[in-house]
Structure 1
Amino acid sequence: MNKPYIELRNRNDFGDTINTYFLFLKYNYKKYTSLYLRYNAISIILLIVASYLLVTGFMGLASRDFRFGMNNDGNQTIYLIVGAIILFLILFITALINYSFSSSYMAEYVNTTGEVESNNVWQNIKRNLGSIILFIFIGIGLYIGYAIVSIIFAFIPLIGMLIQYGLSFLLAAFFGLSFMAIFSENKGLSNALSEGWSFTFSSFGKVILYGLVIGILNLMITFLIISIPGFIIGIYVYFSLESNVDLATNVFASVVFTLGFAMLLLSFIYSQALSQIAYSVLYYNIFEEKNNVFLIKKIEQIGINE
């Protein structure tokens, strides 16, 4: 049975835009996730390696005797440092893949009315690779600036917190909408940034509220994903403590904690990919509100049929 095509290029109100996002996930979740796992297979493996190094290093430090002259080898510290470096690189590369893959997938979905081909998704990414890399570096600069501003506003009670959250949603929307412009219209970096800026501030209230709602809903999805392994790990830790098992030196405990930490990271990374799906839905909605391209095409088609 063919899944129904969800038209994204409609002039929807806020509630319908949220509903469109979840309708898209309902009918395309399996296919999207299957392709997502294929594109991120190497990143997932390396993420598990980084998790192992971090967990091993942390548990090794936790089990050390820090009295003078006792267990002063630096292997655990090396594990932590190497694991942190690998994790940073993997998160950077995965963010690049997430934004690229999700945006390319959505552009292909709209252009082919739901008949997404994996090869076309990859070709779109390769065609825009230069703009993608530059955009990621710009994004890093923006988030560093955001971190500095957040520290400043952290000293202002309540109002500072609201400004922090507002800036966070605003930055995420600007980044997501601009990234989508690269793939939807094959725009260059400067034009994509310009369109993302225009869309973000022309629909300011809608963008902020949309980011808040989607952020909460995706966070709920993330917690749902990690709830089962989290429950299993909690039960394991409880009975291990009851049995006086030394978790810091137990090999099986290291494996369990490594997989648990990796699941936590993978769920938040996947949530990032879903957020870009959501901003892609918002992009097409705002684009149609501003340009009426799809509406005009439908009217013209009615005229031809008559």
Structure 2
Amino acid sequence: MQAYLDGIIEQFRPITNEGKVASYIPELEKTDNNLLGITLIDTKGMIYESGDTKHQFTIQSISKPIVLLLALIDNGEEKVFEKVGKEPTGDPFNSIVRLETFDEHKPLNPMINAGAISVTALIKGESKEEKIQRILNFIKKITHNQNIKINEDVYQSESKTGYRNRSMAYFLKDFGNIEGDVDEVLEVYFKQCSIEVTTRDLAYIGALLARDGVDILTGERVFSARYSSIVKSYMATCGMYDGSGEFAINVGFPAKSGVGGGIMCTVLGQMGIGVFGPALNKKGNSIAGLKLLESLSKKLELSIY
């Protein structure tokens, strides 16, 4: 396995030159385009890694399924589904068009930005500081990494340039989807997206989902199998932005990408996978990371379809 991972990192690293790092968040534009890494953690706790796996990067949209889990734990699924739908959109992650055209004026799913902001608003806490700390603590727990922190430079960059996210949030507030102060919700959202992780952190979360919420190291049930199923279903249908259908055909297991270059994957009963490659394709997914996962899926016959 180690030789295979080393081989595909070497094989696909040149593809990073065909993509571009995210530039709409200015701080992300400083990332080295050629970085590439992958970590596999199976459900017995065995770890296989290759490439730039120690490099820290911001989690961005991969925070969406994680915060969804915490929102489900805090509120239950009935309350969560009052705020977000269950259908893929086929639109870019930052699209606002469906908010106005959908009769219920709620986001179609929590993997797009509008839906994720609605979910962040559900996190319990007496203050914005308590809410983001609860998100941080949850991620520390499920990654077994107590050094998880927010990248303040990326947070400031996101906050200063997040005009479309602000417009979505105020639109949602106008229709009663968001309760509480909009600016506080947005601050928590921008901070959750700016949390720094590594490929190993993502692989641990993927492995936790692969075991339906049972921690692979401690044996603790962190969340119910039902919540695990909900989150994996969203990842499978909406997790790769408007490239989710293509990913299902070419790779074939639940995954969630972020414009920081990360991809978090889960293979039921088998493993979690974390990938990092900041050079993105036009849909916002890691261009070389997709190739790594397609090769891996075919090699190990991991597709669930």
| Range of TM-score over shorter length | under 0.3
Q: Which has the higher strand share?
A: 2
State the TM-score, normalizing by the size of structure 1. 0.25
- Decide which structure has the larger Cα Rg and report it: 1
Q: Normalising to structure 2: TM-score of the pair?
A: 0.25
Q: 1 or 2, which has the higher helix percentage?
A: 1
